Structure 1
């Protein structure tokens, strides 16, 4: 039996706080791709942005031709202009710049991009937006010489409305800068490659004057038979109705819209087939407003904790995982495509995983889409990494904006079960307050998933073999997740046999990282560093130790594939690569791969 209740106010499982607009599900809209070849100019002194007195050209009332965003051309043979877009070299978008040209490999600084395109709207009254999947790190965006805005954060989407700026022939120019700064998120020091550039899709999409902009459709975490959510319009004409249709569940409900263009709803249905790794069931969900139909593939599941257990759809589950960086080893560069996602997540499935940790920043939308289709649970995370400026309000607002964008983008993903707030951050009062506020923001947007952070362990005074997790952050999260490298940074692999853990929290425990480095093809005994044998022995002994940890609910060892890192300089071993991958940078399996694969086949 089925019945439907329409609610005029948001129920407690839904966002309680208004969010800045991020138009959802762009790839299912009427889009025009701006991917492909773009012109570029390397500008380490930012000569195209500042004059010789270091005054920005785009702040001038009548911007000088010298600003590269003007895309100017000489009007006669005497004009002085020190750039030429038409004769500049080309670079591929999406894609990082570091490995498209040798001169870019270690480059950090500003690069200008330009794309010219023709465009005609389908209808004069329609609105047009431009969507950037991600640009690392700071992007100044201009269309036909007009500044659209600035975005900071290298892994989150952003959009601008360009309806009134479009012409038949258009020039889109970006100044992209990937310099590291102490106030940024992440900060100066990381252990991954600082890939610069327009690293994800660039799309134009066209909409009616009033359209469906945002929605959240999930199960109520307290009632697995109740689909709850909201639908938000954008525009001025809000006097109509909209329809929610899930054909397989025989749901077809028409709703009235409130004065803010929003519908909050609750639907009871007893026939839901729940999404899980064993049954990655996705329903076609159609949202209709006037003559617009927006479609999405959404799975329904619940995730919660009960003491030391994680419950998926009410059943205890162990998270058999692996950590992943957003890199394609075959191409050597930032991963961005559906094919990249199929490669990386296909390896995770082959390894025996039911779960992946997408570290240390929000990964591209294709990773989330493929995880939903393949049945892989997902930990998503923001780059609040190591030591950032905890007392700096600008830094906090940056982190909150990235967290908000990540959650809003992926809030309809059944695969995503964990939002992670940070990685290996040293406790302090300022840090605790920073992460407490982030946790409140996350819960105000989404109460249907778990919160976590990758914490650190320490030893009791005078008792080096007793490992403790004592962190105020555990008050704000649902999981006790921590990284440990016993056998690599902390003693030899045999030390695992001497270790005991004291974790004074009745919450599920996730070992978010452990592992060791190995150069593929380098062999020796199990005590020789960098050999496959040493890495395999570290895995074997850690897995035996981990099984005995109270409340252990999952692991995500570090890491699936060797990845680029400027911190790793050991000649003939690292050569600029972090070698902790179970796969080499050529996609070759190391011995430890088979150790973990066997563990997942025969445990939990």
Structure 2
């Protein structure tokens, strides 16, 4: 009776994999939209809970009636005064208020475990558009899906909780009293990215800034400026608009006396380069030099602050600007300090976290887990001098055989890379974390690695892999037995011997690791500890004493691994995780942080800092 189910799935996967990369990215990119003309839409919004999605469909599967459509451009109170028989079961103009961006747990703590649809709405005035100008609504992140309406009309949808998206609203915009409505559904999808089961708080809501962006008719959509491997300042510029082709473009770095010019091709893209001046100061953690870059094309002008550096591998070494480096790092989740975080990342909040890495731990590296973090964070990493691992949430139960899931992952990866290619701090793109080995998974991740290389040849590719453990001559032998390793530049291992195993901590230093021919990074290791809980006699798990000893013994093991070139232990700060429910020690928090939710440093913090001081002194 024709092709079987497996054949159909395989054929569908092959079809998606063959799809050109250009199809897997939101358009436009609107690089550095935060600096463009427009209206900041952060601030006070109205919100309304809709657990049964009443605003999207009636209970007989038909369209919702007028008394249920929260996106309609109507003053409910005024209408019902004029027509007393009208029945409305919502009134957005009189609903509760919240300050956005913020996960909805911040509006009301009882919403912590709510997974469903939430409506947000606000009104704003827009500047009058000049002839030929265009207008876009740009959201830096909405978790997880977003349906956006302007003045009662749908203007677009987006899926994915951690990457930006933009929707053109030129023709729908009014000069005053515009009504923007966003239906945010936090419900994870079985074929989504990430999958429904994770080890972090979901934080449904509009979690990052949003704004109305005004551009010329043809504008600079994407401008990537970097130091290429052949020692040149290279620029890739993409224009969007009717006059994008054959447009003259200038890329200027005034401090270096550079003005690189050229004309775009038929697709509105320019690739141009010039030899780097000898006085160029390369970006590094010790000297995070940034240059003001200006890109000019027709009536449009885009600015950014860019650092220039090279990153590569040679054998088992990671070379930054041609010199070996050890990555002294830590992992972090996007969650601010405090007892009641709501994923409200401000510049001050991000600086507080990154300062604990740079100044507290004496680190030079941070793993932004397990999804793209805010642009605020990556720009601060540039400024502060922290090397960055950036990844997408291909994690655990991802449906690797599903073509739709692969399409989502490819789009998220492309959006993340295009958003942050100008960030000198980012040296590693990661395509996955802790994924079980199957043929479908391999094909899925091979495609993502190929996409990274097609989008960005100036950085390294990695993935956090599960370890392989064997017993040889009566001793544990650790290693990586994953076919994905052959495709990666840097091998990364999540290892939790002594925590997710019964190994006595004193045995950890004698555990051997199989030699690698590439740089090895410990992407994760760690142990939970409730801040203030001490148990020096029994040394029970969840005590600060156990965590401290765990770090001492794991680092002793690490010292013996000849190709280990860095680490990002799990994790800087205790973070919310609903799957962690021990009533005494966890209470809905993963306690592997080296600092408490409010920033109290645990004893293991100082153990890691001492190890990093040793490493820094030896380089």
Q: What TM-score comes out, normalization by structure 1 length?
A: 0.94
Q: Equivalent residue for 2:11? A: none
Of 340, 347, 353 in structure 1, the residue corresponding to residue 356 of structure 2 is: 347
Per-residue CA shift, 1:182-218, capped at 9, x if unaligned?
A: 1111112110001000000011111111111111111
Alignment partners' CA distance in 1, 2:523 and 2:37: 39
Q: In the alignment, is the contact (CA less than 8 A) between 1:487 and 1:494 conserved in 2? A: no
| Residues 1:309 and 2:317 aligned together | yes
SS at match of 1:594: helix
Per-residue CA shift, 1:459-494, capped at 9, x if unaligned?
A: 126766111211001121111101001121122322
Output aligned runs, 1:198-209, within 5 Å.
198-209=206-217
Of 307, 313, 328 in structure 2, the residue corresponding to residue 320 of structure 1 is: 328
Alignment partners' CA distance in 2, 1:96 and 1:464: 47
Q: In the alignment, is the contact (CA less than 8 A) between 1:453 and 1:481 conserved in 2? A: yes
Q: CA deviation at 1:411?
A: 0.7
Q: Equivalent residue for 1:26? A: 33
Alignment partners' CA distance in 2, 1:17 and 1:214: 16
Q: CA deviation at 1:340?
A: 1.5
Unaligned runs of 5+ in 1: 1-15, 58-62
Q: CA deviation at 1:147?
A: 0.9
Q: In the alignment, is the contact (CA less than 8 A) between 1:71 and 1:85 conserved in 2? A: no
Alignment partners' CA distance in 2, 1:373 and 1:492: 42
Q: Equivalent residue for 1:279? A: 287
* Inter-CA distance 464–172: structure 2 relative to 1 (3 Å threshold): farther
Q: Equivalent residue for 1:41? A: 48
Q: CA deviation at 1:66?
A: 3.0
Q: Equivalent residue for 1:67? A: 69
Q: Equivalent residue for 1:444? A: 454
Aligned CA-pair RMSD: 1.6
Q: CA deviation at 1:181?
A: 2.2
Alignment partners' CA distance in 2, 1:227 and 1:80: 63
Alignment partners' CA distance in 2, 1:80 and 1:315: 71
Q: CA deviation at 1:334?
A: 0.8
SS at match of 2:39: strand
Q: CA deviation at 1:51?
A: 1.1
| Residues 1:379 and 2:389 aligned together | yes
Q: CA deviation at 1:500?
A: 0.7
| Residues 1:228 and 2:234 aligned together | yes
| Residues 1:364 and 2:364 aligned together | no
Output aligned runs, 1:68-147, within 5 Å.
68-72=70-74, 73=76, 74=79, 75-147=82-154
| Residues 1:181 and 2:181 aligned together | no
SS at match of 1:334: coil
Q: In the alignment, is the contact (CA less than 8 A) between 1:156 and 1:405 conserved in 2? A: yes
Of 486, 489, 494 in structure 1, the residue corresponding to residue 500 of structure 2 is: 489
Q: Equivalent residue for 2:224? A: 216
Q: Equivalent residue for 1:50? A: 57
Paired residue total: 581
* Inter-CA distance 360–240: structure 2 relative to 1 (3 Å threshold): closer
Output aligned runs, 1:342-491, within 5 Å.
342-350=351-359, 351-460=361-470, 465-490=476-501, 491=503
Per-residue CA shift, 1:77-116, capped at 9, x if unaligned?
A: 1211211111111112100001320221211111111111
Q: Equivalent residue for 1:336? A: 345
Per-residue CA shift, 1:213-252, capped at 9, x if unaligned?
A: 111111112x1x2111211111112454222110111112
Alignment partners' CA distance in 1, 2:444 and 2:248: 41
Alignment partners' CA distance in 2, 1:35 and 1:241: 35
| Residues 1:237 and 2:249 aligned together | no
Alignment partners' CA distance in 1, 2:561 and 2:570: 18
Q: CA deviation at 1:270?
A: 3.4
Output aligned runs, 1:575-594, within 5 Å.
575-594=587-606
Q: In the alignment, is the contact (CA less than 8 A) between 2:247 and 2:268 conserved in 1? A: no
Q: In the alignment, is the contact (CA less than 8 A) between 2:260 and 2:273 conserved in 1? A: no
Q: In the alignment, is the contact (CA less than 8 A) between 1:275 and 1:281 conserved in 2? A: yes
Of 572, 575, 581 in structure 2, the residue corresponding to residue 563 of structure 1 is: 575
Q: Equivalent residue for 1:524? A: 535
Alignment partners' CA distance in 2, 1:193 and 1:34: 25
Alignment partners' CA distance in 1, 2:22 and 2:92: 42
SS at match of 2:489: coil
Q: In the alignment, is the contact (CA less than 8 A) between 2:223 and 2:295 conserved in 1? A: no
Q: Equivalent residue for 1:511? A: 522
Q: CA deviation at 1:65?
A: 5.2
Q: In the alignment, is the contact (CA less than 8 A) between 1:127 and 1:209 conserved in 2? A: yes
Q: What TM-score comes out, normalization by structure 2 length?
A: 0.91
Q: Equivalent residue for 1:265? A: 272
Q: In the alignment, is the contact (CA less than 8 A) between 1:486 and 1:495 conserved in 2? A: no
Q: Equivalent residue for 1:542? A: 554
SS at match of 2:103: coil
Alignment partners' CA distance in 1, 2:309 and 2:83: 66
* Inter-CA distance 250–553: structure 2 relative to 1 (3 Å threshold): same
Alignment partners' CA distance in 2, 1:559 and 1:529: 16
Per-residue CA shift, 1:347-377, capped at 9, x if unaligned?
A: 1112111000000000000110000000000
Q: Equivalent residue for 1:6? A: none
Alignment partners' CA distance in 2, 1:480 and 1:464: 23
Alignment partners' CA distance in 2, 1:422 and 1:495: 30
SS at match of 1:391: coil
Of 550, 555, 563 in structure 2, the residue corresponding to residue 551 of structure 1 is: 563
Alignment partners' CA distance in 2, 1:94 and 1:548: 46
Per-residue CA shift, 1:441-471, capped at 9, x if unaligned?
A: 1111111100000001121267661112110
